[in-house]
Structure 1
Amino acid sequence: MSHRNNQQNRRGLTLIELIIAMTVTAGLLTVLSGVMIAVESARDHTEGVSDTLHHAEMIHDRIGRAINRCGVYQIGAGSITCGIATLQTTTGAVTVPDTLVVWAGEEATPLADEGVIDRLPLRSELRIFAPHDSDSRRLDEITFPSATGTIDFTSGTFASEIETLLASSSAVRTKLTDRIRGAVIPSSMLGAGQSVSSVRFVITEQPTDGEIASASDEASWIALPWAGGVRTLESGLRAVTVETELQFDILPVRNTDESDGAYPSFRRTSRHYLHEGN
């Protein structure tokens, strides 16, 4: 009878029961904490991907718009030149074609509507896409509204003239993104530890200047790989294509201890124009 009364009168848990309960509770809290962290991480990743997609589309659209508006010029009996070029940047032992120069003209007057223009491009009509010189994660669009003088895309001093322009006070930089992925040069290479922007521009021509120059008669002219096969005995449709490669970090601030993932984005944009010759 006394043992039964003791069981009925007990109001709490025994020490062993309390320890078991605390262990179970701690385990549940750990699981719930892990779930919350996973949900938060998934949310950040999803938002990061969405923002990165927006950045990529906006940049490709701006580059494509500049290329589609680009002018084509010919001075006297010289060659017909499309106002698109790339420049390379060398960091240590790494050289990357990360700068795109486009003769885009004024916003209100697309140069593409003027056919083959008989003057040199104005420096104030240039539009350049390039990483920021002090931040490899940042990609800028640079214009030169107050610059004076002309520039020739075929000149041997073209690259140095562009470098001078970029360093001048007339350069107006607009930040397009600060999420470009930086590639760190390994310790075994020159420039170890420096960061290189994951931006790449490649230009292809169809047909190339060399192919056009080698067309010595009507048959070889007709046989050139004109864009879409469009050609006559006196002219052909030429395409200058810019392939853009951008590598983004998904999150705004990259975790240096653990990769948060990369988003590669590619786009091909072509400027077509009628090339007359032969």
Structure 2
Amino acid sequence: MFLPPPDLTALGNCGWLPGTRSFSTQRVRRFGGFTLPELLVSMMIFSLLSAVIGSLSLAVHTAWTFSESMERARHESDAFHQRLNWMIRQAATYRDSSGVRQPGMFVIEQWGTAGLSTDSSGDLLILWSGGANGNLAGGDFPNRTPLLSELVVYTWDAAPAPVLESQSESSPLQTTARRLVEVTFPEDSQTVSFDAANFAATIREAVLSPAARRLPIITRLAITPLESTGNPSAPSFRGAIRFQLRQSPSPNELASAVRGSQAWKELPWYGGFCSNSAGQRVSHISWQIAMDPHASSAVSLASGGANSASTGLLSGSQGVNLFVGSALKSWLHEGS
């Protein structure tokens, strides 16, 4: 015998028994905001998220700034290497006082006192290439006196007027020394003699002349203290760039060998090309540039920081990038 199912609708219509209580499953809505503990926790979480997002944004901005500075420094260095290599190929040759053919290339110290030398090191490179357009095109001019307007100089900028630096607010000096410039003298038609005793002094004076035309190629050179030169107008800092000029065979090697002898033929002629009375010589120019993308600090030279040609190339410092380059200029050695 089966019992019928209960009538659920009847249960809904029936009243509650005396002495019993009813319970509701609906929550009473509370009007108002967060409680104090909830508000404190939410504020702490928001502060942590803000700090994390701010740190990430700062890291991204710093990385982008660093990458942009490095890329710009590399582009400036590449532009200088290409420009200098082309200008060296345009350098012409001349005859010195003894009738020997020589290339119109010299290296001196911008704030030094020494004269010219075939083997030298310094921060100022002189090329007889025909001006900014390289009009001499590597020709040979044995009977012509060079003009100052035909010279091209590469060095750090020692212009009297300072240039404000925007790369770093903590830069040690607001100076033009952070610029590597190509200096030309298009309006100066005076003649200059490479054999003159005052040729180096003439170039140093012309570079600082207001009439000189300066073309900035690199704007982020590192700087290094300039040793005392005895000149009160000398700047406190110099651009960290170094040129070296070497000839092979050297003048001493040529002087020690007799033409046509076995010692003459065993000299280090370029490509091994020589005859009993002539040979192929070569000038090797190398340069090293210290670039500081953020203009943050000074660098030191390889031999303790002395400002002389004997110091050789530059040594690196933290945050400074070194760029090196070299070029060759060969010519036929003949004459006495």
Please state which band the TM-score falls in when normalised by the shorter chain. Answer: 0.7 to 0.9
Q: Deviations over 1:228-267 (max 9, x none)?
A: 222222222211111111111214xx357xx993222110
CA distance in 2, matches of 1:7, 1:31: 39
| Pairing 1:1-278 to 2, within 5 Å after superposition | 9=30, 12-74=33-95, 77-90=98-111, 97-106=122-131, 107=133, 109-112=135-138, 114-115=139-140, 117-133=142-158, 134=160, 135-184=176-225, 194-217=236-259, 218-251=261-294, 254-255=295-296, 261-277=319-335
Count of matched residue pairs: 263
Q: Which moved more, 1:143-152 or 1:206-215?
A: 143-152
CA distance in 2, matches of 1:48, 1:225: 43
- Structure 2 spans left out of the alignment, 5+ residues: 1-21, 113-120, 161-175, 298-316
Q: RMSD over aligned Cα, in angstroms?
A: 3.0
CA distance in 1, matches of 2:244, 2:28: 84
The alpha carbon displacement at 1:163 in A equals 1.8
SS at match of 2:123: strand
CA distance in 2, matches of 1:127, 1:185: 24
The alpha carbon displacement at 1:82 in A equals 1.2
The TM-score, its normalising length taken from structure 1, stands at: 0.83
SS at match of 1:175: strand
Question: Whose Rg is larger?
Answer: 2
Matched residues, percent identical?
25
Structure number with higher helix proportion: 1
The amino acid that maps onto 1:223 is E
Q: Deviations over 1:30-56 (max 9, x none)?
A: 111010000011111111111111111
Structure number with higher strand proportion: 1
Q: Deviations over 1:135-180 (max 9, x none)?
A: 2111211111222232232332121111232234542222223211
The alpha carbon displacement at 1:200 in A equals 1.0
Change (3 A) 1:7 1:181: farther
The alpha carbon displacement at 1:11 in A equals 5.9
Which residue pairs with 2:168 in the alignment?
A: none
The TM-score, its normalising length taken from structure 2, stands at: 0.70
